[in-house]
Structure 1
Amino acid sequence: MGFFSKLKRFWGGAETPAPEEAGKRDAAAQPETQVSPEESSGDALSDDAPHDTASAEAEQADIQAAAQRGGVAEQPHAAAAGDAEDMPAAATPQAAQVAQQAADAAPVWQTELTLALRGAEPRLSVWLGHVLQGIDRAGDELWDRLLFFFRALDAPADEASAFVGNFRKWLDDMEYERVEDFRSELQYRLALALELEDEEDERNRLFLKLSEGLTRTKEQITRRIDGLLSAHKQIDEAFWEELEEILIMADVGYEPAMELVGRLRARVRASGSDDPALFKELMREELEDIFRTPRRIAAINPPEVVLMVGVNGVGKTTTIAKLAYRARLQGKKVLIAAGDTFRAAAIEQLKVWADRVGAGFHSKGANADPAAVAYEAMDKAVKEGYDILFVDTAGRIHTKVNLMEELQKIRGVLGKKHPGAPHRSILVIDATTGQNALSQTRLFDESCKLDEIVLTKLDGTAKGGIVVAVAMQFGIPITYVGLGEKMEDLRPFDGRDFAQALLGSD
């Protein structure tokens, strides 16, 4: 569980810090410089109080000591929430006066929002609903509320300011003003920035998005399987023959379809029942096993180097931008290298994306040696302290031997400059290409040893069965799927969620 996930649990009342920990947090919460009431997060004590510095520090020490003696863990924002009267009896009258003055100086909305947040269900979407209450357009009120929300979670001020600044720039670039146009993007960014992406609420949003993206594939597979189950009173040979046809038509492919049917036959026999009503649950379990991949070593010698490969037109450039975007939101310093030197337009496009997501950019212009671009970018990443380097490569036809050999050259150059690089080689596949994706995966894996696969355009195809085929034949982890055009639409892939979204629940 991430740092902010722990805070979230505490916010909901599941954890109560020890008195001495509370005292330390209170001391750390005091701002070093004077701030205006508008900038105050509603802390019980602030430097707005009309006392000299020494006096204020002494009174704060009295409060902390009293809290420790009384066994009370005072939170910095408690007075702003209307709890000033609940101060320990041991607190001095002067300290109580200071706290009350700070609470009175806080804007009314801060007090109301604090009360709403403290009483809310501890879920990001619920918290965000309170933050956005009464706001329908972007503006100063929204920025103030977001900054307050970060402070309420004890997030560092510089991270909060950077988050708001980046989001404002994105809104300007996209020309969004209404909250309804950017709310989902805001929640997505907050989930990444606050380490809440693995929380139940965010997973529910992902599941809904995945289900919507698989609509056309479900029409091709699920509807036909439902018809198959209703037409048979038992799972017999005719049942299996019809299932084979359904899978092949859904672009699972002949060989993968035969293998999947064989594994399902074994699972049905092991269950001891030939009741069709049980079949979908058994198939969900089998798909989960297919997508389950062995654990691997995630440790790297920084900076992390990611080599992006794929044929023309699969969405590789935008995938790089979306992955860089995720990394930026997670606080990483990102560099993108334009290794596709065959097309000047590709370099320009990647530069535009790098600027949009706030990443560094390196290129040598059109017709330059791609390996030289990779070498110089690697040197730049090491010297300038980048956390992650994405190396683009030219979209190439996977049957061109000379171009595939060039990928090996790029890998060799990266490894020579930075031992262990590239740490990840990611193949981008267009899900709409169906069976051609299998030959692409095979040849790219032979050429540059793939570590991951990203499937794009899953929302626009009825051929989603290719996801199953790729996983069965190669065992290469599918890490992300593209479910739309927006930045937030590149989502982590979860085999269990995929099986559930594809087959539904009984």
Structure 2
Amino acid sequence: MGFFSKLKKAWARPEDAAQQALDEYKREKGLELDEPAKAEPAPEPAPQAASAPETPASDVAAPTPGEDWQAGLTLALRQAEPKLSQWLNIIVEGVDRKGQPLWDRLAFLFKALGAPEAEAGDFITKFEAWLDDMGYDAVADFKSELQYRLALALDLEDEEDERDRLFLKLSEGISKTREQITKRIDGLLSSHSSLDDDFWEEFEEILIMADVGMEAAGQLMNNLKARARKAGTDNPEDFKDILREELEDIFKVPKRIEAVNPPEVLMMIGVNGVGKTTTIAKLAYRAQMQGRKVLIAAGDTFRAAAIDQLRVWADRLGTGFFAKAEGSDPAAVAYEAMDKAVNEGYDLLLLDTAGRLHTKANLMEELTKIKRVVGKKHEGAPHRNILVIDATTGQNALSQTKLFNQAVGVDEIILTKLDGTAKGGVVVAVTLQNKLPITFVGLGEKMEDLRPFDGKDFAKALLT
């Protein structure tokens, strides 16, 4: 049972955490606690009480300043549907700007959910610092970011409420690709009465126009034809279901051992301009929100700007940072960063590497050297080699994936700028041809816009 499911179960009990939080507050203030219920039967209610309707959860107003706001919040939270979005709406009701009233309410929410006081304080302090750094003041400007941070901090990202929000974000992010592919598929289906040779030929053209590529398009076509034969259908009305099922199979990720001997080391690789630096920052941000101690190492020593950019991100996020002078040996940076991570108790080391053309053999060999040096210092490291590719580059992303995988081995892919292209077919091509999982996709510039990739959701969003 997930954390969120446990909360749902606990929230329904009379002695739940919210009531405990209220009782503790009353004790602190020297207020009288409610009388415990007696064992004897309750008296018959007065006739006029029977006509008073129970207030629906959605209509419970936040307490006004003159009320005992903690008592009001407890009542509202207990009556609300147990979803993070509902709880957050109640917490910010009547609070328009950042400030002590908001911090007090957030602290109360953490307390009501049984989170340690120190964790709540740390969350609020970091969030307040981030708001100051970004210049946000109005709740409306940062509410979405706050919900994202709470989902990570409280381990709620996989629960239904947050998954619905993620699906909406994904659907919006691939709108250009959906318009390019789905509109053409709809036109194709309306102009054919069977899945004949002409149908498949026109469908192949749609795939190629969407940057799936010749090889991947041919492979996908063969799979779809076999699936249609197995289903015993040549009816175009069945085609979308067949395609959706095939895409879900393509994106299935095999189980792997997640456990590592800490610190976990992720080596970030990719060519210049794909968004590797900001992706590192977003991964660090996610890990921090999940309670991990993060170290960022600037292994791109060829560009002073690359070191400075990562330093700025590390300062802004409050993570550890390690760098050497411009022109230093990248392998030496990796070795010393590994030493720092081990000695200072970091949970995660994000190791940047120089953006390099995948056609430069000497630079690709350098990655192998870095990998070897890190492994000598910390056995099993790097635990994952993560390739960052840009969805807008189409077929270039395919060749990059192939050559990086051959040179140093790629464990997973992060696909950036998916919201900026109408040719998102590269998502299918990269996975189909290389058998590598896509773990995250970039759907915008904000911290919350790096999202876990779910193939089933992608197929649904693409064809809906």
TM-score (norm 1): 0.84
Percentage of pairs with the same residue = 67
How far is the alpha carbon of 1:4 from its aligned partner?
A: 4.9
* Alpha-carbon separation, structure 2, partners of 1:121 and 1:466: 40
Aligned residue in 2 for 1:101: none
Per the alignment, residue 46 of structure 1 pairs with 27
Cα distance, 1:16 vs structure 2:
8.0
Q: Which residue of structure 2 aligns with residue 87 of structure 1?
A: 37
- Any runs of at least 4 consecutive aligned residues in structure 1 with deviations exceeding 4 A, and if so which? none
The answer to whether the 8 Å contact 2:174/2:419 transfers is yes
SS in 1 for 2:102: helix
CA displacement 1:199-244 (0-9 Å, x = unmatched) = 1111111111111111111111111001101111111111100000
Q: Could you tell me which of 206, 216, 239 is aligned with 1:279?
A: 239
Question: In the alignment, which residue of structure 1 is the partner of 2:298?
Answer: 338
- Secondary structure at the aligned position of 2:27 is classed as coil
Aligned partner of 1:481 in structure 2 is: 441
Aligned equivalent of 2:172, options 201, 212, 220: 212
Q: Check the 8 A contact 1:197/1:203 in 2, yes or no.
A: yes
Of the candidates 93, 96, 108, which is equivalent to residue 136 of structure 1? 96
Q: Shift in Å at residue 44 of structure 1?
A: 7.0
The RMSD of aligned alpha carbons is 1.9
Matched residue, 1:120? 80
> 1:46 Cα shift?
2.1
Give matches, 1:26-45, under 5 Å. Answer: 41-43=22-24
- Once the two structures are superposed, the pairs formed by residues 216-365 of structure 1 within 5 Å of their partners are 216-365=176-325
- Structure 1, unaligned stretches of length 5 or more? 30-39, 51-78, 91-105
The residue type equivalent to 2:225 in the other structure is R
Instruction: Answer 1 or 2: higher relative contact order, Cα 8 Å, separation at least 6.
Output: 2
Q: Aligned residue for 2:333?
A: 373
Alpha-carbon contact 2:22-2:71 (below 8 Å) kept:
no
CA distance in 1, matches of 2:122, 2:25: 26
1:176-187 equivalences under 5 Å are 176-187=136-147
SS at match of 2:302: coil
Report the Cα distance in structure 2 between the residues aligned to 1:423 and 1:141, rounded to whole angstroms: 43
**1:8 aligned to 2:1?**
no
Whole-angstrom CA distance in 2 between matches of 1:149 and 1:301:
34
Q: Which residue pairs with 1:421 in the alignment? A: 381
What letter corresponds to residue 181 of structure 2 in structure 1? I
CA shift, 1:358, in A, is 1.4
Query: Which residue is 1:33 aligned to?
Result: none
Matched to 2:72, the amino acid is E
SS of corresponding position for 2:309 = helix
Contact kept in structure 2, 1:471 and 1:478, CA below 8 Å? yes
Residue by residue over 1:253-295, the C-alpha shift from the partner in whole angstroms, topping out at 9 and shown as x without a partner, is 0010011011000111111121111110110000000001211
Taking the aligned partners of 1:227 and 1:181, their CA distance within structure 2 comes to 40
Provide the rounded CA distance (Å) in 1 between the counterparts of 2:217 and 2:340. Answer: 47
Match of 1:75 in 2: none
User: After superposition, what is the alpha-carbon deviation per residue over 1:335-374, rounded to whole angstroms, capped at 9, x for unaligned?
Assistant: 0000000000110000000111111000012001000000
Q: Secondary structure at the match of 1:221?
A: helix
- Are 1:146 and 2:106 counterparts? yes
| CA drift at 1:6 | 1.3
* Equivalent position SS for 2:272: coil
**CA-CA distance at 1:86 after TM superposition:** 4.4
Whole-angstrom CA distance in 2 between matches of 1:9 and 1:446: 49
TM-score of the pair, normalised by structure 2: 0.91
Q: Deviations over 1:412-466 (max 9, x none)?
A: 0000000000001100000000001111001111111111100000000011000
1:431 to 2:391 alignment:
yes
Amino acid of the residue matched to residue 177 of structure 2? Answer: T
Question: Which residues of structure 2 form unaligned runs of 5+?
Answer: 41-65
Q: Which residue of 2 aligns with 1:172?
A: 132
Shift in Å at residue 7 of structure 1? 2.1
Q: Aligned AA for 1:46?
A: R
Give the secondary-structure state (helix, strand or coil) at the position aligned to 2:441: strand
Equivalent-residue separation in structure 1 for 2:444 and 2:321 (angstroms): 25
Residue pairs, 1:374-389, within 5 angstroms: 374-389=334-349
8 Å contact 1:321–1:354 — kept in the other structure? yes
Report the residue type matching 1:236 in the other structure.
D
